[in-house]
Structure 1
């Protein structure tokens, strides 16, 4: 590896962001992750890490993180990365009044990131989060404004933008917020230009004339995987899935669509209810904790298998997850697609080099 410097990872999860960090030339020397399965996944796939700091960031000092990275005597890391848990501001969570009102205690984890930024003084940083953090409502906007203010107070200038993973060759339409920055007075990294283009949710995105989106069909082509016990969709609505056309959802069964025996009212469910992959398009956003009838489901009328989830996130086929099926779903669904992460971190590496 053409190592460009030492990276520290906060809220590491299974290491999707960290794979991109290392592909861009850095070495992750310290990682903080409180979930035991995700920490074991990190240790299994990043053998140069002596161990992951398995602890709540609230109980972990910056000095401890720096020491874990082998940095002493005022040495500072080249890169700080992390994606604080996004539950308080996720689009799918705004149906809860207390989340819309900004009362979720996890919201404070953004301040733990800026605390380490202020104390560790890295040469550059990358922060990732849900794009709903930028919404202009009473939960998101004050938290976003505070975050940007604290980054400035820590002595950093920055660039921020919502990036769609599909615009960077990931076979999944997954918009995420990225903030990149460097100390005041130094050259500020810019977020990367999209390498792909296409349509998602009735809008066009990417760079005109760029390569077309990578589709789910292309990503899963040639993949051989064993059936999983949990892949069958049963229960009250599972039998409806086979008739849903690829790329469609429960709206197929509505009067407005002309169904002879309508079962649902128009827009009475969340859009991912009975949602099925279209092999000719990127996958819709894959969630960490989907309900029993929340897709995307495979066009073969089943839940996605773990090897398929890895392909749709651009994890290497050889990447090994630790934990139960539901734990792995959460680890993957909370991850930054490594290919997107690499594109972002390379734009930062270009400035540092």
Structure 2
């Protein structure tokens, strides 16, 4: 049997595609507006059509005409308008009130309408379900209903599925109404306090075998002007270590006066915190050896294979990896989708053939 075909939009470096390909799906079309990401996609998915233009200019009807049937649509519209940081950016609109936010989400559902896939996977930051963004969730519900899909959504923590990173994402699965309900996969890993045999995978588990010379570029050192403070922070802590509330005798910072990632240091004994798309010299997570993480390390913390190709300079590569959906999380979801729908279809097809032969 041929592999189920997926169209990927807002593909970035292809985190969702990597997971779906591992589960036995075939990415036949992937799209992103950033040329550097498109270059990465071309290296990792050489048989797919890679489109590098604004989503509003993509003709999905042409894609359907080429392939007759599209089994799935996957993608995560860019998330700044729905992120927690937008609560502090009062000069910018939030959610669908943001022009780009509306453009990306509405074009996602234009793709659903024109491709008519059996299922879709819509991914975003967990802030998508926050009350100030209720209009966005309502829009997703209304468009899904209009187009004949029932939806199932949840906020998943990637660490609960074996990713060595605590990363919460909003996942919405749309299924055509005539199909059986979708059931989210059960967690496979648990916080260590649960005393489970399957504890969260730690940063030490993931990157403990990778090491580098500690010679840093003097022009950009981990911690910048606070590099000496970074060395004093215990693994797993951040700038709050130097606050009165933590018992520091001569406080250097006020409580919650900085972003959580300020001088944040990994612990080898717990998963990484969320790898973000931007890289700076004082925003972590940093390695517990007081240095920047390398691309090979954040790839593992995001669950990318070591041989996955990332193009561009250091910051470009960091941005691509930091923006991605962890492939392992995508794989777990893809495997569930395949098990619930496509494996059943294959079994029914084989059964029908057997009956005809009889």
Preserved CA contact (<8 Å) 1:11 1:83? yes
Structure-1 residue corresponding to 2:353: none
What does residue range 208-287 of structure 1 map to in structure 2 within 5 Å? 209=196, 211-224=198-211, 229=217, 232-287=221-276
| Aligned mate of 1:173, from 166, 172, 176 | 166
Provide the C-alpha distance between the structure 1 equivalents of 2:93 and 2:111, rounded to a whole number of angstroms. Answer: 27
Structure showing the higher helix proportion among its residues: 2
| Aligned mate of 1:325, from 314, 321, 327 | 314
| Aligned mate of 2:99, from 98, 105, 111 | 105
CA 1:22–1:171 in 2, change beyond 3 Å: closer, same or farther? same
- Structure with higher Rg: it is 2
Shift of 1:158: 1.5
**Which residues of structure 1 form unaligned runs of 5+?**
none
Structure-2 residue corresponding to 1:56: 54
Provide the C-alpha distance between the structure 1 equivalents of 2:128 and 2:197, rounded to a whole number of angstroms. Answer: 28
Question: Secondary structure of 2:150's match?
Answer: strand
Provide the C-alpha distance between the structure 2 equivalents of 1:303 and 1:114, rounded to a whole number of angstroms. Answer: 39
Greater Cα shift, 227-236 or 37-46: 227-236
TM-score normalised by length of structure 1 = 0.91
**Which residues of structure 2 form unaligned runs of 5+?**
343-358
Is the counterpart of residue 159 in structure 1 residue 152 in structure 2?
yes
Structure-1 residue corresponding to 2:130: 135
Provide the C-alpha distance between the structure 1 equivalents of 2:212 and 2:50, rounded to a whole number of angstroms. Answer: 30
Provide the C-alpha distance between the structure 2 equivalents of 1:189 and 1:228, rounded to a whole number of angstroms. Answer: 49
CA 1:15–1:228 in 2, change beyond 3 Å: closer, same or farther? farther
Preserved CA contact (<8 Å) 2:223 2:263? no
How many pairs align?
Answer: 338
Provide the C-alpha distance between the structure 2 equivalents of 1:289 and 1:57, rounded to a whole number of angstroms. Answer: 23
Shift of 1:331: 0.4
Preserved CA contact (<8 Å) 1:247 1:276? yes
TM-score normalised by length of structure 2 = 0.89
Provide the C-alpha distance between the structure 1 equivalents of 2:220 and 2:294, rounded to a whole number of angstroms. Answer: 7
CA 1:128–1:31 in 2, change beyond 3 Å: closer, same or farther? same
Is the counterpart of residue 314 in structure 1 residue 314 in structure 2?
no
Provide the C-alpha distance between the structure 1 equivalents of 2:338 and 2:220, rounded to a whole number of angstroms. Answer: 41
Structure-2 residue corresponding to 1:82: 75
Structure-1 residue corresponding to 2:18: 19
CA 1:228–1:44 in 2, change beyond 3 Å: closer, same or farther? farther
Structure-2 residue corresponding to 1:124: 119
Superposed CA RMSD: 2.0
Preserved CA contact (<8 Å) 1:76 1:123? no
